[in-house]
Amino acid sequence: MPNKISVLIIDDSAVVRQVTAAILSNAPDIQVLPPAGDPLIALERMNQHWPDVIVLDVEMPRMDGITFLRKIMAEHPTPVVMCSSLTEKGAQTTMDALEAGAVAILTKPKLGIKGFLEGAADDLITAVREAAASNVRRLKTNAALIAQPTRPVAPVQSSHAMARTTESVVAIGTSTGGTQALEILLRTMPRVAPGMVIVQHMPEKFTAAFSKRLNDLCEIEVIEGKAGDRVIPGRAIIAPGGKHMALTRSGAQYRVEILDGPPVSRHRPSVDVLFRSVAKYAGRNALGVIMTGMGDDGAHGMVEMHNEGAFTIAQDEETCVVYGMPKVAVRLGAVDLSLPLQRIGAEILART
């Protein structure tokens, strides 16, 4: 069928290739091409039939996944879903993969891979569908922006800032393509930037490496959230993978709560959980930003923020890798302003 998403699996494990192929073949809109045991074999096959999406292992013989990814993104940008082990080393390697242009991450354990993959079948199919819908040329453009030196935006003194009785809070939600978008945005933030709370859809353990990476690159402090962390100017708190994060307030102080619980809007952490708590505890003292990502997580929470008087911004379609979450928020009437990614930082500073 011509409308099917063609997928090439590249993994040196025969078990992973077999199980992944079986799972994806069950999806009516996905066509699995003959899998490859390493990137060099894959390149030969890709010359005959270039896939719509590649599912790529990180550690492989002859050519590692990161090297192959960089080669593909430079020569023929293609949506790539990276498979990485659920370890600290795997998390750091995956940060390199996201920087190189991977669309999504799938985690896998060292042992019990067959059972794990079968249990994560829905996540695997969703990742492939999201990858197929992504604008990978935008990923390449963002990578070029990241490579350029960045000077933080000069803060703007707004006329309404002194009217507020509580410090401003900026709440940001993003998913597919968001790791690059957040890096571009946060690198523009000066040390006097308002406190930020962020949900980026990402697996457990990966958010720690992601936060550390951003902290090393940015003028502001970037941390993975822990229960009770204060939201203060010059600090961005990223929700830990596998947990929800919510804002709470004690007097004039904002803090975050880290919560267990089922996925909300199909995600944990969920942007909706964060945005709804920001609407409740910060109200008009908040500013909400919804950026690139598949689906609708955060759109309904942004409606609540907007109704409570928060100013709301959506990343525009042209600069999104996937114009999903912002599109739904706009459709629901929750967005005051849609902006290109490169202009969001200055707008945050002008309005807080």
Burial 110-141 (b: 16+ CB within 10 A, else e): eeebeeebeebbebbbbbbbbbbbbbbebbeb
Annotated catalytic residue, options 84, 201, 270, 316: 201
The domain locations on the chain are: 5-133, 161-350
pLDDT at 224: 98
Determine which one of 38, 229, 272, 297 is catalytic.
Answer: 297
| The predicted structure's pLDDT at residue 323 | 95
Angle between helices 121-133 and 14-25 (to 10 degrees): 70
Task: Write a three-state SS string for 152-188.
Answer: CCCCCCCCCHHHCCCCCEEEEEECCCHHHHHHHHHCC
- 161-350 placed in CATH 3.40.50.1110: no
Catalytic residue among 85, 175, 277, 338: 175
**Quick check: is 300 catalytic?**
no
The closest alpha carbon to 44, from 29, 55, 33, 53, belongs to 33
Same fold, 5-133 and 161-350: yes
201 noted as active-site residue: yes
Nearest CA to 263 out of 140, 139, 123, 131 is that of 123
Can you give the pLDDT at residue 161?
38
In Å, how far from its chain's centre is CA 180?
Answer: 8
In angstroms, the CA 256 to CA 247 distance is: 5
pLDDT tens for the chain, 352 residues: list them: 458 999 999 998 898 899 999 999 999 999 999 999 999 999 999 988 999 999 998 888 888 888 999 999 988 999 999 887 755 566 777 788 888 888 888 877 666 777 767 777 888 898 899 899 999 888 777 767 766 666 677 665 543 433 344 689 999 999 999 999 999 999 999 999 999 999 999 877 789 989 999 999 999 999 999 999 999 999 999 999 999 999 999 888 999 999 999 999 989 999 999 999 999 999 999 999 999 999 999 999 999 999 999 999 999 999 999 999 999 999 999 999 999 999 999 999 999 9
| 272 carries an active-site annotation | no
Per-residue pLDDT, 87? 54
Question: pTM of the predicted model, to two decimals?
Answer: 0.88
Tokens (6 digits) for 163? 């009217």
42 token code pair: 């894959």
> How far does Cα 154 stand from its chain's mean position?
26
**Pairwise CA distance, residues 252 & 132, whole Å:** 45
CATH of 5-133, one of 3.30.365.10, 1.10.10.10, 3.40.50.2300, 3.30.420.40: 3.40.50.2300
